[in-house]
Structure formats: C-alpha cells, structure tokens
Amino acid sequence: MLLSEMVDKELIQIEGGVHFGILAHTECLLDVQTGKIHGFEIVKDKLPFQKKENES
C-alpha cells in the first residue's frame, strides 16, 4: 500500500478502542535509506494546514 493511500485511514488503539484521528495528522517515522516505515508520531499541538497565530 502506498503512503498516499494510507493518509485517510483512521488510527484506533487495539486495546480499548481509543480513536486518535487519521493518519494524515501524524508524522511518519521512516528509514530514509531503506524506505521502511517504523511508525507514526501523533503531534497534538501542531496539525497540518493550521493557521499561524498573529504576532502582535
């Protein structure tokens, strides 16, 4: 499966059924030499395409 096909998949913890959101809202942890995905990191404070706050 391509990473572009995975971005709409939901992240749900197997034990307890906790829903974390969708894969597009994570950082991909991969080995750049082999291209293997090691995991995904959930970034709660920074979501993609978020508006920047005005600096006043």
Convert the pLDDT of each residue in 10-31 to its tens digit: 888 888 888 888 888 888 888 9
Take residue 15 and report the two structure tokens written for it.
């034990």
Instruction: Specify whether the CB–CB gap between 46 and 36 falls below 8 A.
Output: no
How far apart (Å, rounded) are the C-alpha atoms in residues 2 and 22? 16
d(Cα 21, Cα 41) in Å, to the nearest integer? Answer: 12
Judged by DSSP in three states, 42 sits in: strand
Query: Is the model's pLDDT at 43 over the cut of 80?
Result: no
